[in-house]
Amino acid sequence: MLRIAHFSDLHFCAKNLDEAARCFGFAVSEAIAREVDVAVISGDATDHALDVHSPAVRTLAQEVRRLADSCPVLMLQGTYSHEPPGTLSIFPLLGGRHPVLVADRLGQVALMVDGRWLASQRWRFDSVPRGARALFTCVPTVNKADVAAVVGALDAAEAVGHQLAALLAGYATVNEAARAEGVPTLGVAHGTVSGCVTEHGVPMAGFDHEFTTTSLFSARAQAFLLGHIHQHQAWQDDGRWIAYAGSIGRFHHGEREAKGFLLWQVAAASTNWQFIATPARRTVDLVFEGAPDPTEIERAVKELALAGAWVRVRWQIGEEERSSVDRDAIRRVLADAADVQLEGRVVPVVRSRAEGISQATSLAEKVRRWCELASAETAPLLERLAQLAHAEPARIVEGILAGPSQAIASDPEPVPAHDASLHPLAVFE
Ligand SMILES: [Mn+2]
């Protein structure tokens, strides 16, 4: 049986440094204390391209080195925009007591009994390597541009899913052979599983995702360790498990679920895992329907003990109220928060259709109803409506130019009770 610490989506960068360092540092210490056999980082160790002299690179390197002094480490290539190709290549150079393997291409690697990593020459081993302690199938981020070059941009996303499904099924034979030989089998991948839920509670439906639970289970690995989606979640099928560890810390507002890492126990024919929470930062949203009220916020600070929390204040107000928001006052009452984010949404003045107007049968009726709702004088409007309906435009203009004393002659006919040819009057308030 193999014990694996599975960390994912560390997103080291200057902005995330505090959070990533605290949470990953905690997780690494836990993994070492629990004496895991191997550590896996399933992609997005960094948030974007980083300079070598940045403190984030140093801290990340320090933690990976700490891991490598304790057990073999496998680092999988994540999303290219987060982890530009080549980023991971420095980690095997750190020189810990155990080797760091970088999986940046499709393939398999065996963790050997003597603690070495042995990578397959091709996309898989033809048979289980002698002396393998565990077999890992690695599916790093797929470059959709490569696929687009072959099948065209429109079909690339779906083609990636189809090709990956075929590929994953192709690992079944060797994984089944390993199982028969008593060797634990694991998969490590970075991408979206169709039907998973993001950290913002959005279900990822559709056909343009890399994986389905069916395609992942078809590889016949006992455990599939996933990265990319920041919300921890898991699926089971006949004793096999697929799980996202989720991001190591809380990097954005609105992520309500616990953050942490996974401790896996994988044997040839059984799998268990456990979620270990990290001391992720506390984020709190204060949402106002109208203008945010500093007194209310002050009360929340006391009642919810917001000192030290990352607070986001959101509101939604009409254009005409926008000047009533006192941002400085809000910041003052939140002075003890670790971070304050103010997000006001100004709603443009939208006039709704006047209530009950659609039931009026004539245009004149509609105008009358609108005048009631808008407290406007009815008579002058009805008079002008009659002019529009019956007088020549040129005569109306002449009348207006002649001044208010000049009455505009119009046909004496009354406004028809209902004229289906008239468009409904779009009435805005
Ligand atoms: Mn990520």
pLDDT at 404: 63
Report the b/e string of 277-314 with b at 16+ CB within 10 A.
ebebbebbebebeebbbbeebbebbeeeebeebbbbbb
Q: How far is the CA of 164 from the centre of ligand 1 (A)?
A: 20
Considering the domain architecture, whether residues 265 and 293 belong to the same structural domain is answered as no
Q: How far is the CA of 170 from the centre of ligand 1 (A)?
A: 27
Q: How far is the CA of 207 from the centre of ligand 1 (A)?
A: 20
Question: Which of residues 347, 373, 396 is at a domain's end?
Answer: 347
Q: How far is the CA of 230 from the centre of ligand 1 (A)?
A: 6
Q: How far is the CA of 221 from the centre of ligand 1 (A)?
A: 23
Range of the domain at 36: 2-277
Q: How far is the CA of 46 from the centre of ligand 1 (A)?
A: 9
Considering the domain architecture, whether residues 262 and 342 belong to the same structural domain is answered as no
CA 149 to chain CA centroid, nearest Å: 27
Beta-strand relationship, 260-266 and 185-190? unpaired
How do residues 124-179 score in pLDDT, each as one tens digit? 999 999 999 999 999 999 888 888 888 888 788 888 888 899 999 999 999 999 99
- Residues around ligand 1, an ion, CB closer than 5 A: 9, 44
Beta-strand relationship, 107-112 and 100-103? unpaired
Mean pLDDT of 380-389: 86
Q: How far is the CA of 27 from the centre of ligand 1 (A)?
A: 17
Listed residue (167, 159, 158, 157) closest to 189, CA to CA = 167
Considering the domain architecture, whether residues 149 and 171 belong to the same structural domain is answered as yes
Q: How far is the CA of 247 from the centre of ligand 1 (A)?
A: 7
120 or 303, higher pLDDT: 120
Cα(55)–Cα(50) distance, rounded to whole angstroms?
10
Mean pLDDT of 284-298: 88
Structure tokens at 271: 């799998």
Cα(221)–Cα(138) distance, rounded to whole angstroms?
11
Question: Which of residues 314, 330, 347 is at a domain's end?
Answer: 347
Q: How far is the CA of 393 from the centre of ligand 1 (A)?
A: 64
Considering the domain architecture, whether residues 105 and 238 belong to the same structural domain is answered as yes
**How many structural domains are present in the chain?**
3
| Cα distances (angstroms) measured from residue 175 to each of 79, 102, 114 | 26, 21, 21
Q: How far is the CA of 188 from the centre of ligand 1 (A)?
A: 14
pLDDT at 367: 86
Q: Which CATH number belongs to the domain containing residue 210 in this structure?
A: 3.60.21.10
Q: How far is the CA of 228 from the centre of ligand 1 (A)?
A: 4
Residue with tokens 């245009």: 363
Considering the domain architecture, whether residues 335 and 367 belong to the same structural domain is answered as no
pLDDT at 150: 81
Please say whether the beta carbons of 265 and 272 come within 8 A: yes
266 or 422, higher pLDDT: 266
Give, in degrees to the nearest 5, the angle at Cα 101 between 96 and 104.
145
Q: How far is the CA of 327 from the centre of ligand 1 (A)?
A: 32
Q: How far is the CA of 11 from the centre of ligand 1 (A)?
A: 7
Considering the domain architecture, whether residues 151 and 240 belong to the same structural domain is answered as yes
Q: How far is the CA of 79 from the centre of ligand 1 (A)?
A: 7
Considering the domain architecture, whether residues 238 and 367 belong to the same structural domain is answered as no
Report the b/e string of 3-25 with b at 16+ CB within 10 A.
bbbbbbbbbbbeebbebbbbbbb
Question: Which of residues 298, 332, 347 is at a domain's end?
Answer: 347
**pLDDT band with cut points at 50, 70 and 90 for residue 5:** very high
pLDDT at 372: 84
Q: How many CB atoms lie within 10 A of CB 357?
A: 20
Considering the domain architecture, whether residues 247 and 153 belong to the same structural domain is answered as yes
Q: How far is the CA of 256 from the centre of ligand 1 (A)?
A: 16
Considering the domain architecture, whether residues 46 and 137 belong to the same structural domain is answered as yes
DSSP output for 323-344: GG--HHHHHHHTTTSSEEEEEE
Q: How far is the CA of 357 from the centre of ligand 1 (A)?
A: 52
Q: How far is the CA of 193 from the centre of ligand 1 (A)?
A: 14
| Cα distances (angstroms) measured from residue 155 to each of 150, 184, 191, 199, 236 | 10, 36, 18, 27, 30
Q: How far is the CA of 9 from the centre of ligand 1 (A)?
A: 4
Structure tokens at 68: 């490598």
